[in-house]
């Protein structure tokens, strides 16, 4: 028995030594990059095209161009959305990550709080041509207000109402809805013969969040108090969530099956003339990939109560988009800066945003006529005048998980024929709020 104990003690000691090494061996904390490894960069790109291969085809020529100009070789990895946040988390924990990376712009504040990303102070902004090159609304989604941004905007997107022209014509509808009431009324006229007025992605947590956030704004509610505390159960928030779920529960203009959609099936339904409308961000490329002709659909700003999108309660979209960040542990800070400057330069902004069907968050690039087509003009206008950034709080990603899940469960209730009432919505949101840290 004594021997066993001795062996156990030995093993534990050994492990503690090793684990102490693990704690201490990390990167020097608080460091903001150095130039010990110039000449190469690692770039994690998010999946913007139809699939990972498309992204590589779009990006590789641009990276080659960058190498030709600067002599810096960029190693590209396109990371699927399913893995991106986990990969960033593990990179943060270990200090071993890319030099430059894409992040969903809604993650900015969360990642900012981890201290993994290089803060964009005035000095850093100067190195890429200055802060005022960027569109103001896009900068609103780069981190907690009052702190140096954790990233710079790369691609911008906005929500809008896409409608199926063929189905509208068949139902004799000439004007797409501009207010929420019109949306419901139009949806009811279109819902018949197994076809649905509007589609939702009930099991897609992020999309749920984007939708109820905008509706919340229209009800004068934010999901966080000004000092950053979770506030999911205000009357406005409850009304917003209920309003969104009621598309299925009360108005029945959403097909029940949408409750389990999470992989853009609603867009596929739209392209197949099974759903007449979707509220979506920059969907043009997807429709095309689904074999839908550009002339078969139209796009207008998403509805607001007043019919006239604007600020405050007339907000009709979140500021959607992708940000570009520099990993603080980079060993090639100068190269990373050059790369960010390259990617946010007018030329690349135009090329990349055209390829992805998004809008440049850089003012001078936005002027290009390619971004003023009928497909993109409403989105650009929305971004400029009536889009609001999702709450820039460190707990944003938890917010997406818990409230997104609450909405998903409410859709499941609605689809199963259970009543969705103000009380049941409030109960779900209360539960969500209790799962947030520090409440």
Partner 1 sequence: MTTTAIEKTGGRTVPQRDPGAEHGPRRPGRLRALGLPYLLLLPALVLEILVHLVPMLIGIVMSFKELTQFFIRDWGTAPWAGLDNYAVSVDFDAPVGEALLKSFLTTCLFTLLSVGLCWLIGTAAAVFMQETFRGRGLLRTLFLVPYALPVYAAVITWAFMFQRDNGLINHVLHDQLGLTDSPPFWLIGENSFITLLVVSVWKGWPFAFLIMMAGLQNIPREIYEAAALDGAGVWQQIRRITLPSLRPVNQVLVLVLFLWTFNDFNTPFVLFGRAAPESADLISLHIYQSSFQTWNFGTGSAMSVLLLLFLLVVTGLYLTLTSRGRKSADA
Partner 2 sequence: MPSPTRPAPRSPMAAPRSFLWSRAVFLTLLTGFVLLPVYVMVSSSLKPLADVSGKFQWIPSGLTLTPYRDIWKTVPLADYFVNSLVVAGAATICSVMIAVFAAYAVSRYTFRGKRVFTVTVLSTQMFPGILFLLPLFLIYVNIGNATGIALFGSRGGLILTYMTFSLPFSIWMLIGYFDSVPRDLDEAAKVDGCGPLGALFRVIVPAAVPGIVAVAVYAFMTAWGEVLFASVMTNDTTRTLAVGLQGYAGQNDVYWNQVMAASLVVSVPVVAGFLLLQRYLVTGLTAGAVK
- Name the residues that contact partner 1, by CB under 8 A: 4, 11-12, 14-16, 18-19, 22-24, 26-27, 29, 85-86, 89, 92-93, 95, 110, 113-116, 202-203, 205, 255-257, 259-260, 262, 394, 397-398, 401-402, 404-405, 408-409, 411-413, 415-416, 431, 434-435, 437
The residue behind tokens 């609001």 is 388
Q: Check: CB of residue 213 under 8 Å from CB of residue 281.
A: no
Contacts of 417 (CB under 8 A, 6+ apart): none
Element (H, E) at 362: none
**Minimal distance in Å, beta carbon 100 to partner 1?**
18
Q: Check: CB of residue 285 under 8 Å from CB of residue 359.
A: no
Q: Which of residues 155-194 bind partner 2 (CB under 8 A)?
A: none
**Minimal distance in Å, beta carbon 272 to partner 2?**
8
SS3 state at 335: helix
Q: Nearest 10 degrees: CA dihedral of 309, 395, 145, 363?
A: -50
Q: Which two tokens stand for residue 218?
A: 């229209």
User: Residue 295 binds which one of partner 2, partner 1, none, with CB within 5 to 8 A depending on kind?
Assistant: none
Among 122, 141, 139, residue whose Cα is nearest residue 130? 122
CA distances (Å), 255 to each of 103, 266, 274, 287, 336, in order? Answer: 33, 10, 10, 20, 47
Q: Which two tokens stand for residue 146?
A: 């009052």
Among 13, 35, 60, 86, binds partner 2 (CB under 8 A): 86
Among 3, 68, 123, 175, binds partner 2 (CB under 8 A): 3
In the complex with partner 1, the residue whose CB is nearer, 104 or 303, is 104
Q: In this chain, which stretch among 75-83, 183-191, 314-322, 341-349 interacts with partner 2, using CB under 8 A?
A: 75-83
In the complex with partner 2, the residue whose CB is nearer, 266 or 433, is 266
The residues that bridge with 102 in the sheet, in sequence order, are 324
Among 65, 73, 87, 256, binds partner 2 (CB under 8 A): 87
Element (H, E) at 428: helix 422-434
Among 32, 96, 225, 421, binds partner 2 (CB under 8 A): 96
In the complex with partner 1, the residue whose CB is nearer, 259 or 284, is 259
Q: In this chain, which stretch among 22-30, 125-133, 137-145, 308-316 interacts with partner 2, using CB under 8 A?
A: 22-30
In the complex with partner 1, the residue whose CB is nearer, 113 or 179, is 113
User: Residue 267 binds which one of partner 1, partner 2, none, with CB within 5 to 8 A depending on kind?
Assistant: partner 2
In the complex with partner 2, the residue whose CB is nearer, 224 or 327, is 327
422 torsion bin: left (phi>0), alpha (psi -120 to 50), beta (else): alpha
Among 86, 139, 143, 141, residue whose Cα is nearest residue 109? 143
Binding mask 53-72 for partner 2 (x = CB under 8 A): x-------------------
Binding mask 226-265 for partner 2 (x = CB under 8 A): -------------------------------------xxx
Contact call for residue 430 and partner 2 (CB under 8 A): no
Among 278, 280, 306, residue whose Cα is nearest residue 180? 306
- Measured CA to CA, the distance from residue 398 to residue 262 in angstroms comes to 19
Q: Check: CB of residue 76 under 8 Å from CB of residue 58.
A: no
- Measured CA to CA, the distance from residue 287 to residue 367 in angstroms comes to 25
Binding mask 283-322 for partner 2 (x = CB under 8 A): --xx--xx--------------------------------
Q: Check: CB of residue 72 under 8 Å from CB of residue 330.
A: no
User: Residue 115 binds which one of partner 1, partner 2, none, with CB within 5 to 8 A depending on kind?
Assistant: partner 1
């Amino acid at each position: 028995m004594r021997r066993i104990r001795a062996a156990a003690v030995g093993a534990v000691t050994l492990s503690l030594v090793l684990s102490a090494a693990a704690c201490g061996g990390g990167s020097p904390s608080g460091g903001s990059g150095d130039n010990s490894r110039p000449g190469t960069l690692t770039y994690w790109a998010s999946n913007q095209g139809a699939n990972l291969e498309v992204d590589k085809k779009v990006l590789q020529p641009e990276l080659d161009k960058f190498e030709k100009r600067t002599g810096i070789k960029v190693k590209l990895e396109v990371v699927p959305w399913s893995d991106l946040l986990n990969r960033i988390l593990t990179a943060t924990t270990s200090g071993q990550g890319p030099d430059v990376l894409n992040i969903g712009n809604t993650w900015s504040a969360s990642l900012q709080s981890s201290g993994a990303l290089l803060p964009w102070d005035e000095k850093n902004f100067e190195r890429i041509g200055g802060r005022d090159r960027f569109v103001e609304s896009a900068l609103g989604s780069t981190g907690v207000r009052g702190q140096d941004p954790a990233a710079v905007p790369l691609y911008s997107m906005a929500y809008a109402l896409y409608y199926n022209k063929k189905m509208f014509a068949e139902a004799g509808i000439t004007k797409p809805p501009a207010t929420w009431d019109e949306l419901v009324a139009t949806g009811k006229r279109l819902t018949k013969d197994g076809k649905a007025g509007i589609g939702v992605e009930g099991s897609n947590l992020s999309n749920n969040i984007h939708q109820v956030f905008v509706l919340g704004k229209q009800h004068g509610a934010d999901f966080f108090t000004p000092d950053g505390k979770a506030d999911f159960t205000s009357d406005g928030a409850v009304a917003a969530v209920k309003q969104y779920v009621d598309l299925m529960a009360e108005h029945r203009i959403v097909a029940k099956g949408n409750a389990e959609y999470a992989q853009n099936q609603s867009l596929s339904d739209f392209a197949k003339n099974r759903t007449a409308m979707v509220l979506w961000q920059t969907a043009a490329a997807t429709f095309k990939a689904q074999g839908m002709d550009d002339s078969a659909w139209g796009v207008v700003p998403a509805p607001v109560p007043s019919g006239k999108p604007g600020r405050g309660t007339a907000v009709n979209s979140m500021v959607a988009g992708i940000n570009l960040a520099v990993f603080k542990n980079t060993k090639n800070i100068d190269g990373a800066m050059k790369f960010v400057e390259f990617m946010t330069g007018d030329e690349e902004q135009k090329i990349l945003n055209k390829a992805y069907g998004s809008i440049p968050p850089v003012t001078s690039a936005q002027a290009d006529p390619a971004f003023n087509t009928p497909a993109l003009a409403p989105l650009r206008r929305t971004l400029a005048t009536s889009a609001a950034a999702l709450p820039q709080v460190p707990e944003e990603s938890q917010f997406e998980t818990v409230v997104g899940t609450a909405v998903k469960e409410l859709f499941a209730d609605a689809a199963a024929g259970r009543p969705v009432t103000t009380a049941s919505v409030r109960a779900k949101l209360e539960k969500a709020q209790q799962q947030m840290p520090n409440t």
